[in-house]
Structure formats: C-alpha cells, structure tokens
Amino acid sequence: MSLRWAIVGATGAVGQIVLAQIEQRGVEFESIKFLASKRSAGKQVVFRGHSHEVETLCPESFEGIDIVIGSTPDEVAAEFTPWAVERGAIVIDESGYHRMLPHVPLVIPEVNPHAIRAHSGIIASPNCSTTQMVVALKPLHDAAKVKRVVVSTYQATSGAGVAGSDELLENTRANLGNQSFAAKTFRHPIAFNLIPQIGSLKYEGYTSEEMKMVFETQKILEDDSIQVCPTCVRVPVANCHSESILVETERPLSVNEVRELFHAAPGIIVQDDVVAGSYPMPRNCDQRDEVFVGRIRRDLSSLNGVAFWCVSDNLRKGAATNAVQIAQLVVASKLTKCGS
C-alpha cells in the first residue's frame, strides 16, 4: 500500500525519535513531509541520510496526506488535527488533548489493538507513565482481572522535554561547583533532589499526571472498575521512567505464574534475579523499545497481591515508538482512505 505521511513536530525530541523509528523499522511510504510551527519552520531534519526542510504547519499541509503522527503540545494538536481529519488523514496524536474524548481510541498496540477500528480520524497515544504500566498490567488482567493498582513513579527529566534534560545538567553542574541556581522548568531544583509533584493539582490532592494514570488505565483496559492509586515523582535521572507497582487481582497469582505471564507477553522483558543483582535500571533500558520488569514478589499485605518494578524509555515506548507502532497497525489493518 502506497501512503503519504506527515510528521508534525519533527524537530522536537520525540519527533526526532519518530523519524529514527520510521527509518529503523523500514516503514514504506510514497512520500513523507515534515511540519512544525512557524518558529521551527525552515529548519533542516536528517532522514534516511538526506536533509529535509521543515515546512510551516497550515491547513493545506495535509492535502493528499494519509497518515499523520503529531508530537506536539496540546494547543498545537487542538489546532492542526481538524485540518488533517477534514482532508481525510488519520492522525496519531501524542499530545494529551484527545486522550479522554469518548470518540477517540487510546491505543497501546500490545494491549488493545482492536480499539483502532473505532477511530473517527484520530487515534491517541497514552501518557508515558501510563503506557509502560498498562503494558505490564495487560497479561495479569487477562489472567486474573486486575482490581486495584498502587503505583509510585520515578520519572526522568526527559519527560519534561529538552528543557527538562538541560535543566538537570545545568543544575547538577551548579551544585557541584557550589554555584547558585534558579529552577525554571521544574518547580524546585532537581539535582540531588526528588520532586513529589508532576502536573497541576486536580482532585483530592492528586495531580494531573496522577489522574491521567487513573483514567487512561481504565479506558485502555476497558474497565472502569479498576482502582488506581498513583504518586508521581520527578527524579534526577536523565531518561527512562521507573515505577513501583502493586497489583491486586480477582484471584491470586503466584510469583511463578506472574513471571511466566510476563515472559509470554509481547513487548515485555523480564530481568528478575535479585541474588545476581539483575533487575531493570534506567541506564540499562535507555534507547530500548520494550517494557522491563523485575523484583517480582508476593504482596505481604494482600492475599491476591503481587508487587514488581517496571522501567521503560519514556521517549521511545512511552511516546515515539508507540505512535509509530500505531501507525504501522493502521497500515496493516488497511484503515486509511487509500486502503479502504
């Protein structure tokens, strides 16, 4: 199938990984164009060994386009998505703008690929912290129905974009040099520190980032009865989010059962040998597309509970990789106007 692609936000950190993923996965297309706001238009991006000029994002940009991947802030997604849909394109949106709209599927290909068929021109990719957790929850939910999740996240500074990564480096240098430092991207200095707030205050003391994990998990797993208690923390780690997850299921699962379920699940790698010091760590999961799990153990406080540790590259599986996987799923399912 010969399709025409457009990448919106191609100059950003996630957009650059989207291009790399398209290249590494050997995605075929008739044509591809790179779009961005006026501020970034005119810049050059390198794709498949050639330099391409980034075009200014406008309604006419989507004439004749079949698939769009958007890696933009919410306000940009809200503006350009109608332009693309009106012209017959399918938009895979990585922003948070469309995720909880009832007519927009929220998709992780390893978890709910069937959901793409309910699209009305837009398919949303979940929040990075939700994505890795739900990939890990899926085999447990299928086997024994997840009832309750208690999760604490340890989120890397790259989750706040290039500015977040830069601030970690600048703040660290300042601390080591005994220099003053004024935090800009984060609410407090991040070097040698933990910040137990990501996002704005939303509900009963929970933040926007935490409530995303609640509502997105229920939507993806198609089960509003699942209870989620999240605490999201920003940590001085450059890349890869880590999560401590406790799951309570309808029936008990042994540690061996859980380990085998993880082994058999797509997109999951098990590293679970405490004696040998083998478990997922950010520095070992960086630039990988899988979700890594380890420290699998019985919950001492619940008969039907299991606890484990989960790490994933938030810029890849948590963002760019998932979007490209959705696009590949759309093509394989022949859902574009070209394939219909």
DSSP state string for 19-43: HHHHHHTT---SEEEEEE-TTTTT-
Model-level pTM?
0.95
Is the C-alpha dihedral spanning 118, 123, 125, 127 positive or negative? negative
The residue assigned the tokens 């919410």 is 74
CATH of domain 129-314: 3.30.360.10
d(CA 221, CA 306): 19
- In the CATH scheme, what is the code of domain 4-126+319-332? 3.40.50.720
Residue-wise pLDDT tens digits, 250-297: 999 999 999 999 999 999 999 999 999 999 999 999 999 999 999 999
One-letter amino acid at 15 equals: G
Do the beta carbons of residue 13 and residue 162 sit within 8 Å? Answer: yes
Contact between 291 and 267 (Cβ < 8 Å): yes
CA distances in angstroms from 111 to 20, 78, 95, 143, 326, listed in the order given = 23, 26, 19, 13, 11
- Positions annotated as catalytic residues are 128, 241
| CB-based burial label for 194 (10 Å; 0-12, 13-18, 19+) | exposed
* CA 243 distance to own-chain centroid: 14
Instruction: Give the start-to-end residue ranges of the domains of the chain.
Output: 4-126+319-332, 129-314
Q: 57-74: b or e for each residue (b if 16 or more CB lie within 10 Å)?
A: beeebbeebbbbbbbbee
Q: What is the chain's Cα-based Rg?
A: 20
Read off the tokens for 99: 């995720």
Place of tokens 């075929």: 28
d(CA 203, CA 74): 21
Q: Are 124 and 338 in contact (CB under 8 A)?
A: no
As a whole number of angstroms, the distance between CA 235 and CA 227 comes to 25
* Per-residue pLDDT in tens (0 to 9) along the chain, 340 residues: 579 999 999 988 899 999 999 999 999 899 999 998 888 888 899 999 889 999 999 999 999 999 999 999 999 999 999 999 999 999 999 999 999 999 999 999 999 999 999 999 999 999 999 999 999 999 999 999 999 999 999 999 999 999 999 999 999 999 999 999 999 999 999 999 999 999 999 999 999 999 999 999 999 999 999 999 999 999 999 999 999 999 999 999 999 999 999 999 999 999 999 999 999 999 999 999 999 999 999 999 999 999 999 999 999 999 999 999 999 999 999 888 655 4
Beta carbons within 8 Å of 5's beta carbon, 6+ residues apart = 22, 29, 31, 32, 33, 65, 66, 67, 68, 69, 327
Structure tokens at 260: 């085998």
